[in-house]
Amino acid sequence: MSSTQDFQRWPDAHGRFGDFGGQYVAETLMAPLAELTEAYERLRDDPAFIAELDRDLKHYVGRPSPIYHAERLSQHIGGARILLKREDLNHTGAHKINNTVGQALVAKRMGKPRIIAETGAGQHGVASATVAARLGLKCVVYMGAVDIERQKINVYRMKLLGAEVVPVTSGSKTLKDALNEAMRDWVTNVADTFYIIGTVAGPHPYPMMVRDFNAIVGREARAQMLEEYGRLPDVLTACVGGGSNAIGLFHAFLNDAQVRIVGAEGGGEGIASGHHAASLAAGRPGVLHGNRTYVLCDDNGQIAETHSISAGLDYPGVGPEHAYLKDAGRAEYVGVSDEEAMEAFHLLARTEGILAALESSHAVAQAMKLARELPSDGMVLCNLSGRGDKDVHTIAACEGVEV
Amino acid sequence: MSRIDRRFAALKATGRTGLIPFVTAGDPSPEHMVTLMHALVDAGADLIELGIPFSDPMADGPVIQHASERAIARGVGLAEVLGWVTAFRTRDAETPIVLMGYLNPIEIHGYERFAREAVQAGVDGVLLVDCPLEEAAVLQPLRQAGLQQILLAAPTTAPGRMVRLCESAEGFLYYVSFAGITGAGSLSTHDIAARVADVRARATVPVAVGFGVRNAQSAKEIAGFADAVVIGSALVGRLAGAKGPDEIVGRVRDILQPIRSALDTH
């Protein structure tokens, strides 16, 4: 890896991150994507837009989120200090709100009265319904029928916020199918509809725009590390489904060559079992949902049905910027199993009094592994991307407990 | 001159509007796929669009998605699709075949390998829904092997972009008659007529109109201003669940023949 390489300069003018990204969509979507790209590129340099976004992030989302030294967890593990970037403390309980606040402001300025979103775990759906309620926009959320069943609380939350939740029964009835269905809605209703994609996937400009709105996580964390600890962490880790919280943390550190970067994918029952969602660790380059990236598919190119205990990681693709960072050798991606995530969930709850989301528990598990490999003055910064209240029923069911 | 170009030249010479049926390869029945293809031609098809099943057909509506899911469940992949084209060609050397689908199955198969095998099987062109002009560099091996790349144009296509599409188009240009998914809603013929006239004036290739053609009436309206009409979801929907060659051939005849007559008498 060359220390002079600028990893932050992507995407290029065609929306590509090295060989990945792009706009692999039907002709009917090319015009709406061009309109969105033009609007977003104008707005992101507009001082009035930036000021409005900053106000919302501070007063509505509750930023900045703190970095918390998980002392008892670190002691329990032995090794480096584990530091948690507390995105679980944001309004609605996850990093997802950083992006929806931003995209909703774009929608408002583009004059679109209706927003649509896809959701897996329901966190992005809730975050979209939340900002829609606040701005008085109509909101329709597409959600796989399987996910609706395993995330009932979030479905009800969305309804309380005034959103319509549409069950998707095609394909594997999970996140990827919800994304297909939302894309179809957008193609059909593009005149009055803004599609808030919840992760750094989809066609350009989404991977760039969603990253930009989440990059505040890493910018804050980098400044907080320098201010509170006097140096950057040795290693960063975050969970990767589509990869929005991970790229949010990683981006500000990409050119800090001394900081190691590790993404934790949904390893399900283990990579060898074939039942997992580790697109980067075990997939191959392909084209899905409008971009070239790593995908899990069979030899006929059919997209695989993935498995992860956490609905938010249960996705057969991944954001193209992660695919680029993997191939460029700047970041590593590993699978963390359901079992390891559950162990980390319990350990964090008992040692620190924090119920982490199952997605984020994968990152905590990875942080524990990394901490063990480092000396006691080392530092592992882990993105605690969301809180675990939504997963209480899943965890109880897993352990055979009636709630 | 390619098979597609020859076919459109012949249509023009006789003043006829082309009929292009779309079927999903492997639905309703893999065993009778070649029979189905011949039945399409016997019922008046000028060119066949054969859909490569894909698990995530983002631009298609429920009818074609379900046909795709059924075909995948029966184990249909590129090898089977190309096998049917090869078998079809033993009896029909004239009807052009365009494979329609999404990029990932071809990407995974390998572009060069696909190009070689498709040409050998007797495929004439490809229409890859999620590969717009901007991303078409990956298709270079296909073009080099002689497969024509059919491009889509839409009502939302900006004027400057339309010029580029018209310049790059090969075989024919597929005009998507409204901004939706396959098999959706109705269309305003008047609007489409004006836009297609504009495209035809610029394009050096014929223009086929699709998305929303469901019966003889809508086909006839379009025939007045298009070089060809495409019928997809309405046909796939009618074929769903057909059992045995007789039922498949019968249903093809029932839906295509009235359209063929309407096109020939407009």
pLDDT number for residue A3: 54
Give me the DSSP letters along B182-230: TT-S---HHHHHHHHHHHHHH-SS-EEEESS--SHHHHHHHHTT-SEEE
Residue B265, min C-alpha distance to chain A (Å): 32
Residue B241, min C-alpha distance to chain A (Å): 18
Given the residues A118, A181, A220, A340, select the one marked as catalytic: A118
Q: What's phi and psi for B150, nearest 5 deg?
A: -85, 130
Choose the mutation target among A19, A23, A25, A27 for the interface with B, i.e. most B CBs under 10 Å: A27
Residues in chain A with CB shorter than 8 Å from the CB of B184 are 188
Q: Which residue of B has its CA nearest to A177?
A: B56
| Model confidence at B187: pLDDT above 70 | no
B240 close to A (CB below 8 A): no
pLDDT number for residue A2: 47
Q: Provide the whole-model pTM.
A: 0.96
Tens of pLDDT, residue by residue over B70-105, are 999 999 999 999 999 999 999 999 999 999 999 999
Facing residue for B152 by CB, picked from A27, A288, A290? A27
Facing residue for B107 by CB, picked from A28, A289, A301? A301
**Mean pLDDT value across chain A:** 96
Residues in chain B with CB shorter than 8 Å from the CB of A14 are 134
Q: Is A24–B103 a contact, with Cβ atoms under 8 angstroms apart?
A: yes
Has B49 been annotated as catalytic? yes
Residue B41 pLDDT class (50, 70, 90 cuts):
very high
B145 close to A (CB below 8 A): no
Q: What's phi and psi for A257, nearest 5 deg?
A: -55, -25
B136 close to A (CB below 8 A): no
Q: Which residue of A has its CA nearest to B158?
A: A31
Tens of pLDDT, residue by residue over A319-377, are 999 999 999 999 999 999 999 999 999 999 999 999 999 999 999 999 999 999 999 99
Residue B129 pLDDT class (50, 70, 90 cuts):
very high
- Cβ atoms of B37 and B48 within 8 Å: the answer is yes
Q: Which residue of A has its CA nearest to B180?
A: A188
Mean pLDDT for the stretch of residues B32-55: 98
Lowest mean pLDDT segment, chosen from A148-152, A329-333, B180-184? B180-184
B160 close to A (CB below 8 A): no
Give me the DSSP letters along A130-198: HHHHHHT-EEEEEEEHHHHHHTHHHHHHHHHTT-EEEEE-STTSSHHHHHHHHHHHHHHSTTTEEEE--
B80 close to A (CB below 8 A): no
Three-state DSSP state, A295: strand
Residue B61, min C-alpha distance to chain A (Å): 8
| Model confidence at A175: pLDDT above 90 | no
Has B60 been annotated as catalytic? yes
Given the residues B60, B117, B124, B221, select the one marked as catalytic: B60
Tens of pLDDT, residue by residue over A264-304, are 999 999 999 999 999 999 999 999 999 999 999 999 999 99
Q: Is B108–A299 a contact, with Cβ atoms under 8 angstroms apart?
A: yes
Sequence letter at residue A10: W
Of residues A193, A253, A261, the one with CA closest to residue A222: A253
ipTM metric: 0.94
Residue B108, min C-alpha distance to chain A (Å): 5
Half-sphere exposure of A44 (CA within 13 A, CB side): 15
How many beta carbons lie within 10 A of that of residue A376, not counting itself? 11
- Cβ atoms of A305 and A275 within 8 Å: the answer is no
pLDDT number for residue B183: 55
Which helix (H) or strand (E) segment holds residue B233: the answer is helix B233-239
Mean pLDDT for the stretch of residues B199-214: 89
Cβ-based interface (< 8 Å): residues of A facing B: 14, 22-28, 30-32, 34, 170-171, 176-177, 180, 183-184, 187-188, 190, 284-290, 295, 297, 299-303
Q: What percent of chain B has pLDDT over 70?
A: 95
